[in-house]
Structure 1
Amino acid sequence: MLSQQSHFPAAMSPPSMAAVYYKYGPVDTVIRLTEIPPVEISENDVCVKMLAAPINPADINRIEGVYPNQPPLPAVGGGEGVGEIHSVGSAVKVFSPGDLVIRSPYVPGAWQTYMVEEQSLWHKIDKSTPIEYAATVSVNPVSALRMLNEFVTLKPGDSIVQNGATSIVGQCFIQLARFRGIHSINIIRDSPKSDEVKEKLIKLGADKVFTESELDVKRVKILLGDTPEPILGLNCVGGNAATLLVKFLKQGGTMVTYGGMSRDPVVVSTSNFIFKDITLKGFWLQEWKLSKTKYRDWIDYLLGLARAGKLKYEMELVSFNDFHKALEKAMGKHGSQRKQVLIF
């Protein structure tokens, strides 16, 4: 007698609306909103209803094709985000519908209304967390925390110097350094609103804020006053802004480059290498090897600060239906300085 087996229909996700790109190139021309049919939910998968996801410069660079490792095409954009568990596979025990979760960074696909992925890619967080901070914590704030912790040994009373101070990473550097009693010297671009920007950064905890033109002098260290010379410099701009940053560094200082917003090369004088023993390093979060436990501990620490109102940065919440408007702002076409966060 043949044994009989019950065949249950596979659990499926709802259909999803997604921002999909089919080739690499200028992001505003190669990506479009597309409906994705339901996806099967395997036993170790979770289906997550996305709530919010930011548009990061790294997301744009990935779609432009400038990164060495790329997902197979077509692909859904977006490298981080927060969602709510919609349903779970039969073997999933650690998640339940309604849990608030964030995804591992740089796993492509955050810009869609529903996601189906293996449960290990998600981390449950406190439901009281503001979704805009949950959506943005795993790339920029984590990068700031890592760079402060792992390139040089900083102690209370030390100093750091950075350009790109108005970015989310820059704002996090200022606040995280202040919590540890570390001084921050900050370089910003010249603009008609420079004084307003300075005031905002000082309110966050910045010790010194200078425009690039204010540093067009031979001895920039005179501007420090009683603030110690920084041992760590954090560069995300390149070009002249990086050259100015190096001028501040003390003997044996280190500059870490984690971006190149100006698209100009980093130029360091020979004398800074020979007579100041300057060290140059690079940082790319995607290639950073960190244990899952430590990474998630850092996430919980940062979100705890955000819930307590101790970690703040500027964001603009935009409906996913207005994706292309948000994309234009994220690319700087409308002069917006705020991080664009898509709300689903």
Structure 2
Amino acid sequence: MALIMMRSVATTRRGFFKLKRSSSGIRAFSSLLTSPPSKAVVYERHGPADAVTRVIEMEGVEVKEKDVCVKMMAAPINPSDINRIEGVYPVRPPLPAIGGYEGVGEVLSVGSAVKHLSPGDWVIPSPPSSGTWQTYIVKEESVWHKISKDSPIEYAATITVNPLTALRMLQDFVTLNSGDCIVQNGATSIVGQCIIQLARHRGIHSINIIRDRVGSDEAKEMLKRLGADEVFTESQLEVKNIKGLLVSLSSIHSLWLII
């Protein structure tokens, strides 16, 4: 019985790799379809990432009828990823866990009941979906969102965390209209850079504050190329009437502060 099962799995895996190379959108009908073996970055306790993480080899897992097997193409390392490993982030997966919360992958195979995804599609996981630091992921179709293959891979891999945070900061708290102005600190962060670009796209002016540090002049120029209207270091804003200064710079009706 064990020998027959192993042969069945081996045959299915050969079919699996044929499916990967096929351009006809073949779907999986065998319940014995499995993902290829995978490498993953795992941690079994919280602590410094370089001390508690390790790379392991994982056996293939069954691709059930509603599942999608995705080959990860790129996954970033965010500060929030490190914070989860350290155990200081408010939301943490149960241990042991695989690192990573965003990324982009290519659909490798789909279960027989999957309706909206096909082999070859590019997908990103919907948040919160941990475990992107592995080579193959098997999860239900509802977890995955199809994206355009025209998307630069580094943009697709990082769309979930920082750009969406920036979008929510701009639209979830107050109603901002074209001609309004926002002030933000930490403007060189990825969230800050996204806010600058989204604000410019919506006709919203941005006044940006960065830390005093070596290379601050270059950082100012970089942010202005992204669309920042004004960029100041913290020391430049050491004045008594800071609100008056900012309003005089913006010449607008509404001024909002993002911290």
TM-score bin (small chain): 0.7 to 0.9
CA–CA distance in structure 1, aligned partners of residues 254 and 54 of structure 2: 45
1:40 corresponds, among 54, 57, 62, to 62
SS in 1 for 2:68: strand
2:112 counterpart of 1:98: no
Q: 1:230 to 1:170 in 2, by over 3 A?
A: farther
2:137 counterpart of 1:147: no
Q: Greater CA deviation, 187-196 or 59-68?
A: 59-68
Q: TM-score scaled to structure 1, two decimals?
A: 0.64
* Unaligned 5+ runs, structure 2: 1-7, 9-29
1:215 corresponds, among 217, 223, 237, to 237
2:257 counterpart of 1:233: yes
2:133 corresponds, among 111, 116, 137, to 111
Following superposition, the deviation at residue 230 of structure 1 comes to 5.7
Report what 2:157 is aligned to.
Answer: 135
Q: 1:214 to 1:73 in 2, by over 3 A?
A: same
Report what 1:262 is aligned to.
Answer: none
Following superposition, the deviation at residue 151 of structure 1 comes to 0.3
1:22 corresponds, among 44, 59, 63, to 44
String of CA shifts for 1:176-213, please: whole Å, max 9, x gaps. 11111111111101112111111111111111111111
Letter in 1 for 2:258: L
CA–CA distance in structure 2, aligned partners of residues 229 and 76 of structure 1: 48
Q: Residues 63-102 of structure 1: matches in 2 within 5 Å? A: 63-102=85-124
CA–CA distance in structure 2, aligned partners of residues 10 and 229 of structure 1: 63
2:214 counterpart of 1:188: no
Asked if the contact 1:59/1:79 (under 8 Å) is kept, the reply is: yes
Letter in 1 for 2:203: G
Letter in 2 for 1:13: S
Report what 1:203 is aligned to.
Answer: 225
Q: 1:38 to 1:229 in 2, by over 3 A?
A: same
Letter in 2 for 1:233: L
Letter in 2 for 1:30: V
Which stretches of structure 1, 4 residues or more, deviate above 3 A after TM superposition? 221-226, 228-231
Following superposition, the deviation at residue 124 of structure 1 comes to 0.7
Following superposition, the deviation at residue 222 of structure 1 comes to 4.8
String of CA shifts for 1:238-264, please: whole Å, max 9, x gaps. xxxxxxxxxxxxxxxxxxxxxxxxxxx
Following superposition, the deviation at residue 9 of structure 1 comes to 6.2
Q: TM-score scaled to structure 2, two decimals?
A: 0.84
Q: How many residues align?
A: 229
Asked if the contact 1:174/1:205 (under 8 Å) is kept, the reply is: yes
Report what 1:167 is aligned to.
Answer: 189
1:125 corresponds, among 132, 135, 147, to 147
Letter in 1 for 2:256: L
CA–CA distance in structure 2, aligned partners of residues 148 and 51 of structure 1: 30
SS in 1 for 2:75: strand
Letter in 1 for 2:257: G
Letter in 1 for 2:157: A
Letter in 2 for 1:231: L
CA–CA distance in structure 2, aligned partners of residues 192 and 145 of structure 1: 30
Report what 1:310 is aligned to.
Answer: none
Q: 1:68 to 1:221 in 2, by over 3 A?
A: closer
2:74 counterpart of 1:52: yes
CA–CA distance in structure 2, aligned partners of residues 63 and 129 of structure 1: 29
Report what 1:300 is aligned to.
Answer: none
SS in 2 for 1:141: helix
CA–CA distance in structure 1, aligned partners of residues 239 and 181 of structure 2: 21
SS in 2 for 1:54: coil
Following superposition, the deviation at residue 26 of structure 1 comes to 1.2
In percent, how many aligned pairs have the same letter? Answer: 65
CA–CA distance in structure 1, aligned partners of residues 90 and 154 of structure 2: 29
